[in-house]
Amino acid sequence: MEPTESTFREMVNLSPFPVYLCTGEDLVITVANNATLKAWSRDASVIGKPIAVALPELRDQPFLGYLLNVYRTGQPFHSDISRVDINANGVLQTYYYKFNYLPMRNSAGEIYGVAAFNTEVTELERAKQEVEESRMILYNLVRQAPVGICIIGANDLVVDVVNESYLELVGKKRWQVENRNIWDAIPEAKAFYSPVMDRVIATGEAFVAQEAELILIRDGIAENVFVDFVYEPVRHFDGTINAIMVIAFEVTDKVLARRAIEDIEERNRLAIEAAEIGTFDFDLVHTTTVTSDRFNQIFGFDGPVPHRLLIDAFHPEDKQIREHAHEEALRSGYLYYEARIIWPDDSMHWIRAQGKVYRDKNEKPVRMLGTILDITEFKRLQQQKDDFISVASHELKTPMTSVKASIQILDKLIRTGTNPDKISTFIDKANSSLNKMQHLIESLLNVSRISAGQLELSKSRFNVTEMINESCDYVRVAGDYQVIIKGDKDLEIVADKQKIEQILVNLVNNAVKYAPNSKEIIIEFTKRKTTIKISVQDFGEGIPYDKIPHLFERYYRVDSTGVQYSGLGLGLYISAEIVERHGGKIGVNSDAGRGSSFWFTLPLGDS
């Protein structure tokens, strides 16, 4: 079937695209399909009217000019996306179109009109504008945000958008970052964070870092900073990730401030622990006490104890000291006292308590915070020192009295000229007492030298047997004891001879002093690979097992009452120091009742 003219008419009318035809210089609307009428918001009455009359709102828009130009020149006109404002029921509405105006010619080739074929792109244009707008909104948001924001293309990792806060955070200029690969812009973060960003792009899962510590090169200077940041994937409408948004916030000051506080707390805690200080918080209103673990330990308890029990723990004679101190504290605001407490196992301990009283707004004391210290050892040493001073003065007084007495007698003998044969006896007596005094004073001097770290060694090579013989001669001369020396007569060592002799004198003296009934003293020395061991054995009372660990301590005496045997408790202490200075060891094997064998080792020295 041949298509008739009405078929074409029908097709034009059905077309969803606006199609119309204007004819003549007046551009009279001759054909306008339904889509056109709809687009114009007009009805069929416009047909037959010049377009400028039918659509007066177009008069100050460029389209009538374009139409006329096509009519006059025969040049077709194709527009890009153009905006057109149409009066729809009294309201000017904006649409977007692509226009195509074509000249229409008759069989003679003369132009009689212009056909318009238009496509509406309003929706598309709106969408595009919206995207642009939201981009602007986003951009402004990003720009003004107080946090650092940087948007990075997911494909090329090129920085698309970056704000001032971000530039400030990373310490870079805009040109160093914008439109550059992020890792070229901030190479110092690449090693650690490039894999992280790649993972976000690959998995689409955001990465959140809190107080991440990183080194940033800010204006050329490496700085250690702490940053809270997020790598947030930004998705395209089809779900693919087209960008990564980095949101970063510097928290260096916050972290450093917190660390400083943590440091102080830690230091306080360490100080308290190191000083072995127990702490308490005494509620004066309800008379309850909160105590630290160390506090409980000092009182001999495993855990917290009621206030009542703590008060009961005080030594009966010292309860008053505590009470007075607390009364005084309520007046002065400060607590201080030293007192004895009795542990649940009945052992006695010394404590020193210090505290501060806090008052409420009515000046009523409500709380006391304080510390306690176990000062048992301190008190023991103090006691020991006191004892020592009395022992030392006593020890010095005895020979001194004897010297004085001898001199008085000598004075008398010389003046009266009687018994001249006795003079030498008393001179010997005085001499022997002076020797004793000299020995004591020597010990005291040695102790102070050791305390001051001034015990100097002067080493030489000597024969061990000869050295032992020299140091025991006086015992042999006294005749009461048999000193037996066992060992290689040719053995020589390098050491401080005088000080080793001093040790032997101390040990032999002790053997004589503490084993008066055993007539035999065995001095034995054996050579080992690089050392020599020398022992002094007696067959006296021996030393109780539990006392042995203390023997070599300063001032220590097994029987500290000092009634039975005189002495300062320094001989073994000094001996131990000399041995230690040589790099050797000292010890004792002893069975109570069967005697003792004191021994020490010395390196052979460079032989």
Binding mask 132-171 for ligand ADP (x = CB under 6 A): ----------------------------------------
- Dmax over CA atoms of the chain, in Å, equals 184
CB of 599 to ligand ADP, least distance (A): 12
Contact 483, 476 (CB under 8 A): yes
Nearest-CB residue for ligand ADP:
567
Kindly report the CA angle at 527 between 524 and 533, in degrees rounded to 5?
Answer: 50
Please pick, from the candidates 40, 99, 282, 573, the single residue that binds ligand ADP as defined by CB under 6 A. Answer: 573
Q: Which residues pair with 158 in a beta bridge?
A: 181
Please pick, from the candidates 113, 355, 370, 567, the single residue that binds ligand ADP as defined by CB under 6 A. Answer: 567
CB of 478 to ligand ADP, least distance (A): 17
Q: Report if residue 391 touches ligand ADP, rule: CB under 6 A.
A: no
Please pick, from the candidates 113, 571, 584, 605, the single residue that binds ligand ADP as defined by CB under 6 A. Answer: 571
Q: Which residues of 78-109 are buried (b: 16+ CB within 10 A; e: fewer)?
A: eeeebebebeeeeeeeebbbebbbbbbeeeee
Q: Report if residue 570 touches ligand ADP, rule: CB under 6 A.
A: yes
Please pick, from the candidates 95, 280, 350, 514, the single residue that binds ligand ADP as defined by CB under 6 A. Answer: 514
Please pick, from the candidates 55, 115, 185, 543, the single residue that binds ligand ADP as defined by CB under 6 A. Answer: 543
Total residues at interface with ligand ADP (CB under 6 A): 22
Nearer to ligand ADP, 233 or 567 (CB): 567
Nearer to ligand ADP, 40 or 573 (CB): 573
Nearer to ligand ADP, 188 or 387 (CB): 387
Q: Report if residue 535 touches ligand ADP, rule: CB under 6 A.
A: no
CB of 438 to ligand ADP, least distance (A): 15
Nearer to ligand ADP, 68 or 512 (CB): 512
Distance CA 367, CA 281 (A): 7
Which residue matches tokens 């025991």? Answer: 472
Query: Using CB atoms within 10 A of its CB, is residue 411 exposed (0-12), middle (13-18) or buried (19+)?
Result: exposed
Pick out residues in 482-511 that bind ligand ADP (CB under 6 A).
506, 510-511
Laid out side by side, the sheet with 221-235 consists of 159-162, 148-153, 241-250, 221-235, 207-218
CB of 464 to ligand ADP, least distance (A): 21
From 63-71, 133-141, 185-193, 537-545, span contacting ligand ADP (CB under 6 A): 537-545
Contact 43, 87 (CB under 8 A): no
Contact 205, 196 (CB under 8 A): no
Single-letter code of the amino acid located at 163: N
Q: Report if residue 596 touches ligand ADP, rule: CB under 6 A.
A: yes
Please pick, from the candidates 148, 540, 584, 605, the single residue that binds ligand ADP as defined by CB under 6 A. Answer: 540
Please pick, from the candidates 569, 582, 586, 602, the single residue that binds ligand ADP as defined by CB under 6 A. Answer: 569
Residue 431 structure tokens: 């001499």
Q: Report if residue 515 touches ligand ADP, rule: CB under 6 A.
A: yes
Q: Which residues pair with 484 in a beta bridge?
A: 522
Q: Report if residue 539 touches ligand ADP, rule: CB under 6 A.
A: no
| CA 484 to each of CA 477, 515, 519, 590: distance values in angstroms, whole numbers, following the listed order | 14, 16, 11, 19
CB of 541 to ligand ADP, least distance (A): 6
Contact 508, 476 (CB under 8 A): no
Please pick, from the candidates 86, 104, 272, 558, the single residue that binds ligand ADP as defined by CB under 6 A. Answer: 558
Nearer to ligand ADP, 292 or 510 (CB): 510
Contact 391, 385 (CB under 8 A): no
CB of 332 to ligand ADP, least distance (A): 45
| CA 384 to each of CA 318, 545, 555, 561: distance values in angstroms, whole numbers, following the listed order | 21, 21, 7, 11
Residue 271 structure tokens: 């100080």
Single-letter code of the amino acid located at 388: F
CB atoms within 10 A of CB 216: 19
Nearer to ligand ADP, 371 or 537 (CB): 537
From 121-129, 142-150, 213-221, 569-577, span contacting ligand ADP (CB under 6 A): 569-577
Contact 589, 599 (CB under 8 A): yes
From 280-288, 306-314, 429-437, 553-561, span contacting ligand ADP (CB under 6 A): 553-561
From 111-119, 265-273, 495-503, 570-578, span contacting ligand ADP (CB under 6 A): 570-578
From 80-88, 185-193, 445-453, 563-571, span contacting ligand ADP (CB under 6 A): 563-571
Which residue matches tokens 């509620």? Answer: 283
In 3D, which of 283, 268, 272, 301 has the Cα closest to residue 373? 272
Q: Which residues of 244-279 are buried (b: 16+ CB within 10 A; e: fewer)?
A: bbbbbbbbeeebeeeeeeeeeeeeeeeeeeeeebbb
Single-letter code of the amino acid located at 227: V
Contact 163, 174 (CB under 8 A): no
Nearer to ligand ADP, 446 or 510 (CB): 510
Please report, as ranges, the residues that interact with ligand ADP according to CB under 6 A: 506, 510-511, 514-515, 538, 540-541, 543, 551, 556-559, 567-573, 596
